[in-house]
A and B are shown apart, each in its own frame.
Chain A
Amino acid sequence: MKIIGLIVAVLTGALLIYGTVDFPGWADPASPASTHLSPHFIEKTMEETSVPNIVTAVLADYRSYDTMFETTVIFSGGVACFILLRIFRRKEPSDRLYRHVLTGATIRVKEGGKIPLDSDDFERIDTLWTPHDLIIKTVCRLLIPFIQLFGLYVIAHGHHSPGGGFQGGVILGASIMLLAISQDLRTAVQRMREKVDALLSPTGVFIYAGTGALCLLLGLNFMDYSALASVLYVDPVTARSHGILIVEIGVGIAVMATIIWIYNNLSSAGKYDEGL
C-alpha cells in the first residue's frame, strides 16, 4: 500500500513538474500576466474600485473566488483540528487541584470529593500550575485591549494600508491566546466559549459567500460588488470599495475564531480543561 502511495505521489509530482515547462519564464515581460493583467490592475484599480491599495483590490475583488476558498480552507483546518483532537469526556479528571487564594494552600480533591465550589476563597488551578507573575499578568491585561483595537484597525484599513481580514483576524485571535497564556485556558475559554468559536468560524465564511450571492441576487455576476450600489445607496465604484470591506470583516471573523479554536484544541489536547 505504501508503495502504491509513493508511486502516485511521484507520478503526480512528475506531471506537475512537466506542466511547468509550458510556463512563461521568470519575470518574462512578454508573458500574458505582465502584458495584460498587471498593467490593468496598476492603471485601473483606483478608478474601478476606488481602493488605493492594489493588493487588497486584487485579493478581495478581482480574485475574490480565490480568497473565498482560502477562507474556506482556514475553516476546514479548524474543523479538522476539532475532529482529530477533541475528546468529549463526560466525567471530570480524577484529581482536581484547588488553591486557597488568601493563604496559597493547595488542596487536591480526589474523585467524588467535594469542595465549596461556590465560595470565592478557592480557585481551580492546573496540574502544572506556576505561581501567577504579577508583572506578566498586569502587562498582558494592559496590552490586550490595545492589541484588539489594533486588530480592528488592521481589518478596517485594509483598503489604505497593508493589512486586511487575514492579518487583523490573526491579531484578534492572538490577543485571546495571550490571555490564555498569561492567565490560564479556562479564563480564555470563558471569554470565548467553544460554541462561539465553532459558530463564528463558519459565520465569517458565510458573510463572504453571502456577499457574493447577494450580488448574484441583485442581478450581476457572483462577487461583482457594484451590484451592492442599490442596497448601500452609493455609486457602483464606491460600492465595490464597501463590498471589499464587508468581505474583509467576514474573513477577519473566520480567521479569529478558527485560530482560537485550533489553539484551544492543541494546547489542551482536546480536553478543554487544562492549557499550557
Chain B
Amino acid sequence: MDIIVCLLLFAGLFFFTGGAVGILRFPDFYSRLHPAGKLDTLGLLLALIGLALFNLHHFSLGTLLTSLKIILIAVFVFLASPTATHAIVDAGVRAGLAPWTKGEKRR
C-alpha cells in the first residue's frame, strides 16, 4: 500500500515539475498555458489519489469520508482547471495576442 502511495505521489510530483519547467521554458503565452493547464491538473489528480489512499490506512467510516472528500476535490479541479485555462486563452485571442511561430524570439 505504501509503495503505491509513494509511486502516485512521486508521479504527481514529476508532472508538477514538468509543468513548472514548461512554464519557465516555453516561448510564449499560449504555449506556457499548455503545461500549466494540463500537467498541473494531472499532477494534482495523482497526488490527491495518493493522499486519499494513504488516508485509508486505518479503515473506518470517518477516514473513508475524508478520502471521498479528497476525491471530490480532484473531480472539481479536473472540471475547473482546464476551463480556467480555456478562458485565459480565449481572453488572449480576443485581446489580439498573436501566437508564437517558429524562428521568432522568445517572449
The residues of B that contact A136 with a CB separation of less than 8 Å are 83, 86-87, 90
CB < 8 Å neighbour of A135 from B76, B86, B94: B86
Binds B, one of A38-46, A138-146, A242-250: A138-146
- Whether a CB of chain A sits under 8 angstroms from the CB of B80 is yes
A47 within 8 A of B: no
Complex-state Cα separation, A136 to B81, whole angstroms: 11
A residues 103-143 touching B (CB-CB < 8 Å): 130, 133, 135-136, 139-140, 142-143
Q: Could you say which interface size class chain A belongs to?
A: under 10
Taking CB as reference atom, which chain A residue is nearest B72?
A146
B79 within 8 Å of A (CB atoms): yes
User: DSSP class of B's interface residues: helix, strand, loop or mixed?
Assistant: helix
What are the residues of chain A within 8 A of B79 when measuring CB–CB?
139, 142-143
A-B CB contacts (within 8 Å), total count: 19
Range class of the B interface residue count? under 10
* B80 surroundings in chain A (CB, below 8 A): 139, 143
Chain A contact residues, majority secondary structure:
helix
Are A146's CB and B90's CB within 8 A?
A: no
Residues of chain A contacted by B94 (CB below 8 angstroms): 130
CA distance A220 to B80 in the complex (A): 49
Q: B104 to chain A: closest CB distance in Å? A: 28
Q: Which residue of A lies closest to B87 (CB)?
A: A136
Residue of A nearest to B79 (CB): A139
- Mark out the residues of chain B between 84 and 101 whose CB falls within 8 Å of any chain A CB in the assembled complex: 86-87, 90, 94
**How far is A122 from B18 in the complex, measured between Cα atoms in Å?**
48
Q: For residue A130, which residues in chain B have a CB less than 8 angstroms away from its CB? A: 94
* A146 vs B72: C-alpha distance when bound (angstroms): 11
- Chain B's nearest CB lies how many Å from the CB of A183? 13
Q: Which of B83, B90, B94 has the most CB of A within 10 A?
A: B83
List residues 47-92 of chain B with CB under 8 A from any CB of chain A.
76, 79-80, 83, 86-87, 90
- B90 to chain A: which residues have CB within 8 Å? 133, 136
B residues lining the A interface (CB < 8 Å): 76, 79-80, 83, 86-87, 90, 94
Where the two chains meet, the residues of A that have a C-beta atom closer than 8 Å to any C-beta of B are 130, 133, 135-136, 139-140, 142-143, 146
19 interchain pairs (CB within 8 A)? A130-B94, A133-B86, A133-B87, A133-B90, A135-B83, A135-B86, A136-B83, A136-B86, A136-B87, A136-B90, A139-B79, A139-B80, A139-B83, A140-B83, A142-B79, A143-B76, A143-B79, A143-B80, A146-B76
